Structure 1
Amino acid sequence: MDRYFVVHAPRQTGKTTGLRTLASELTAEGDVAALAFSCERAKVARDDVGWGESMLLDSIRAAAERSGWPEELLPPDPWPQATPGSRIDVALSDWCRRSPRRVVLFFDEIDALQGDSLVSFLCQLRDGHNARPDGHPFPTSVILCGLRDVRDYKIAVGADPGRCNPTSPFNIVSESLRLGDFTTDEIAELYDQHTQATGQEFTKDAVDRAFELTQGQPWLVNALAYEITFEMGVTGDITAGQVDTAKERLIRGRATHLDALVARLHEPRVKRVIEPIVAGSLPEVDLTFSDALSYVRDLGLIKERPPLEVANPIYREVILRMLGDPAEQYVMADPYSFVLPDGRFDLPRLLQEFVVFWREHGEYLIRQEGYHEAACQIILMAFLHRLVNGGGQLDREYAAGTKRLDVLIRWPHTGPEGERLTQREAMELKVWQAGRNDPLPDGLAQLDGYLDRLTLSTGVLVIFDRRPEAPAWNERGGFEQTTTPSGRQVTVLRA
């Protein structure tokens, strides 16, 4: 109870609810006055230390007054006067001196503090903590809660050599804790609360599919359930197919949480990590890469442990859709024209149309694409999304170091006897980089493994030529038929 912590997790993972519940339970025990409050209103202060302190102290007072505490536990009104840059230390010290209980504070949305306001706050927090053994009254325990791990606060504090030592505010932090994602069993337990309240059950397949799509990310787990039960108005038991429908609706509806993540894709630290994942290449690692990696991991965009890949299938799809949105505006072909008379999807015609599109727009779109290393993959994904997603679905697999991007087209249609069928078409994307050998042999072997996993007998290998000596743009788009090492017939498109 006498320690200071950093608690971090991606947005919408239950941090605020957890802090408020913990504060309420601790206060109810009768020994401490525990208060959770948001620092968000202090965001506007940025480098104005005095203004930031005022906003923060106002937030503390407002939260305390809303808590329903007795008068003797509330902070002093007004706060004591002090020089800007010391007001947090003086104010909290005065409160702790008067309080009949030990004071415990949970600073939620601590990321809102910016620039000098953050630096001053952290330095005052450290000074107050370290003066406690000398009789200085100060909060018994503190949690700093936000998106970022302690490393990122060190960066913020150490940005200017004239500021306090970049590690000094953090030798008081006992531990940096990350809230974990749900397991399959925890999702089942969560969804069972809905069943107990309404009688509507989530089938085991639905629970498993929810975990597969979200990998337990709390906001996504809850958002899928809300979409199904409230927005879609499903009655009866909930199935895996309805989970898939809810996933698609969330992505198409540009849910706020997903938009907030996508907005970060062009931040330099985020791009540095995500671009090689999309391109299938290895990232350039130097002394600053670990900080970028930690930042993107704290955002919840990538998995906690190697290999380096996107955190879950929903984020994986969202990232490529949003990065490809500018290129998709250039796709003028009619999606319905690719549906054959028997209801199947005309993949050969799609490939021919892509060649026309690539010759006309490829060079320009590559120059415009911010993720230059992954431009070819992003543009083809945009083309496919525009023409497939109206009636079918795209499953994409990609990760850093794989040197490829795998795509599965799933197209539902009705068979000759009226049965429901799903056409599946697999594609693999490779890039021929300058100074490298033709990736055809490796591509055929990798496509072989992908087709084997999907139990498919044919597929498509697309090789983008990024070499300076590549053919002229109006000559690209040649097709050839060949076989994989195991003898599967495949189509190779050189773009």
Structure 2
Amino acid sequence: MVPPAQRLPQARLLIDMDRYFVLHAPRQTGKTTALQTLAAELTAEGDIAALMFSCERAKSVGDDYAAAEEILLKSLRQATEWAGWPEELLPPETWPQAPAGTRFGSALTAWCHRCPRRVVLFLDEIDALQGNSMVSILSQLRDGHNARPGGRPFPASVVLCGLRDVREYKVASGGEPGRSNPASPFNIVTESLRLGDFTADEIAELYDQHTRATGQEFAKDAVDRVFELTQGQPWLVNALAYQITVGLGVTGTITAEQVEEGKERLIRARASHLDSLVARLHEPRVERVIEPILAGTWPAIDSSFDDDVCYVHDLGLIRGTRELEIANPIYREVLLRVLGSRTERFVQADPHTFVLPDGRFDLERLLEEFVVFWREHGEVLVRQEGYHEAACQIILMAFLHRLVNGGGRLDREYAAGTKRLDVLVRWPYTGPEGERLVQREAMELKVWRAGGDDPLPQGLAQLDLYLDRLTLSTGVLVIFDRRPEAPGWQDRGAFEQATTPSGRQVTVLRV
């Protein structure tokens, strides 16, 4: 475990200043572990009674704020009992009688009046509170916070911990994200901290703990590849190492190639963390942000788009809020596989028939088979695909995945505004002298949309740069025609040869 204090240096400072603040991060990034450790450290120092408890069970009662108060107070009391604290730090045996909508605040006052130490509360899974329940609890925290200068006993510091940033809680509690409202429960929140992903050095530190405990080492190129694939997302960093050491049963030094194998096992396993992200893909707010990333188009921006981007960023699906890119290569691959699962069921070709006698992959035949597939199923699949603007890219990616992934790998690069999707097929095979070789084939996907110019010139220039970066001499440019005046589906699928600006000969497929 990377030490929590190292990941949250500001949290202790804010607590010492008696601040109320938000700590947010995507799921499975270590929020709960960090807060548990921080609470234990603060309490052990002797001046603070720091308690973390979860609001998750209150999700089931929705707007029933009276029931939510009851659940939260039971969770709070249970957490103090599990903490093993001495009697003088515990809440009163019975909570004071108070009307619904004030019970939570009254209970905290009674506890702080009794406790000889400053009370610090970490409300984990605060996102579980919904509607009126959230408004009620947060309003009571605001009222208690504001009454402290008048002598009311109340927690010295409160940390609201969940997926969302302050602006999202403002929306959830009925306010406007960009405006300050004196009646909002959030006018007391002074900071919003985001628990970040691991750095490359922190991954090395984490894996070094495994080495010290077991003697098994990670080669430097393996650690570097883990960072490239995960971009430091904590759950992925740990799950990938688990798949390698336990799933694959690797006992010696772990190599970059074994990291690749572990990544495939991890994606195929579709653990709950990945499934929870996938379940979000068809939320309108998420689709509105993710679709232009997949399609390479500029999103339609209005007054609410920034809020949607922040929401998707808080979920951990995108890297930042300015450059719209999927957070890491593993998520990038999972998203396209999931969205293309419907298409994969239509692909009947046998992957083994695309392997040439010398062991290389027959990309030319794959493209010819895709033309047949596109003519037969393309119209139906494009119409059925939820991500309509990115449907062509999703369908071709699913076709490639079905036929390549058994023996090779696909690397995909895409981002909003690029007007393209880049694909690299990597196919390992054995050379004539028994040496291990890797065939690499690069493709670029473009879409000719209504009212636009033929993307061929731009596509050739972009493919040229991609091939130059990969040090390849040839590639494939696929142009999907989405114009109303496009040829009929049975007439699509023309091949031609073209030359890039630097003189590379490439194959162009128009479908």
**Match of residue 311 from structure 1:** 327
Is 1:235 paired with 2:244?
A: no
**Match of residue 306 from structure 2:** 290
Deviation of residue 304 (structure 1)? Answer: 2.2
Contact 2:28 2:234 in 1 (8 A): yes
> In 2, Cα distance between the equivalents of 1:310 and 1:156?
25
**Match of residue 30 from structure 2:** 14
Contact 1:12 1:257 in 2 (8 A): yes
Matches within 5 A, 1:361-376: 361-376=377-392
Is 1:276 paired with 2:292?
A: yes
* Aligned-residue RMSD, C-alpha: 1.4
**Match of residue 74 from structure 2:** 58
> In 2, Cα distance between the equivalents of 1:87 and 1:138?
13
**Match of residue 162 from structure 2:** 146
Amino acid at match of 1:220: L
Deviation of residue 256 (structure 1)? Answer: 1.2
Contact 1:158 1:165 in 2 (8 A): no
> In 2, Cα distance between the equivalents of 1:118 and 1:351?
54
Is 1:246 paired with 2:262?
A: yes
After superposing on structure 2, the runs of 4+ consecutive aligned residues of structure 1 that deviate more than 6 Å are none
Contact 2:309 2:321 in 1 (8 A): no
Q: Pick the aligned partner of 1:447 from 457, 460, 463.
A: 463
- Closer, same or farther: CA 363–166 of 1 in aligned 2, 3 Å: farther
> In 2, Cα distance between the equivalents of 1:159 and 1:127?
17
Deviation of residue 58 (structure 1)? Answer: 0.7
Contact 1:206 1:243 in 2 (8 A): yes
Matches within 5 A, 1:19-30: 19-30=35-46
Deviation of residue 305 (structure 1)? Answer: 5.2
3-state SS of the aligned residue for 1:434?
coil
3-state SS of the aligned residue for 1:171?
helix
Amino acid at match of 1:175: E
Is 1:479 paired with 2:486?
A: no
**Match of residue 200 from structure 2:** 184
Matches within 5 A, 1:34-433: 34-158=50-174, 168-304=184-320, 306-433=322-449
> In 2, Cα distance between the equivalents of 1:46 and 1:293?
26
| Structure 2: gaps (5+ residues) | 1-15
> In 1, Cα distance between the equivalents of 2:404 and 2:323?
29
1:6-57 Cα shifts (integer Å, max 9, x gaps): 0011111111110001000110111111001111111101111111111111
> In 2, Cα distance between the equivalents of 1:324 and 1:128?
51
> In 1, Cα distance between the equivalents of 2:322 and 2:250?
38
Report how many residues are paired: 493
Deviation of residue 77 (structure 1)? Answer: 2.1
Deviation of residue 168 (structure 1)? Answer: 1.8
Contact 2:294 2:393 in 1 (8 A): yes
3-state SS of the aligned residue for 1:190?
helix
1:141-166 Cα shifts (integer Å, max 9, x gaps): 01000111111101101169xxx959
> In 2, Cα distance between the equivalents of 1:165 and 1:56?
26
> Percent same amino acid among aligned pairs?
77
> In 2, Cα distance between the equivalents of 1:317 and 1:34?
41
> In 2, Cα distance between the equivalents of 1:426 and 1:7?
42
Deviation of residue 494 (structure 1)? Answer: 0.5
- Closer, same or farther: CA 156–166 of 1 in aligned 2, 3 Å: farther
3-state SS of the aligned residue for 2:161?
strand
- What is the TM-score normalised by the length of structure 1? 0.98
Contact 1:158 1:166 in 2 (8 A): no
Deviation of residue 341 (structure 1)? Answer: 1.0
3-state SS of the aligned residue for 1:131?
helix
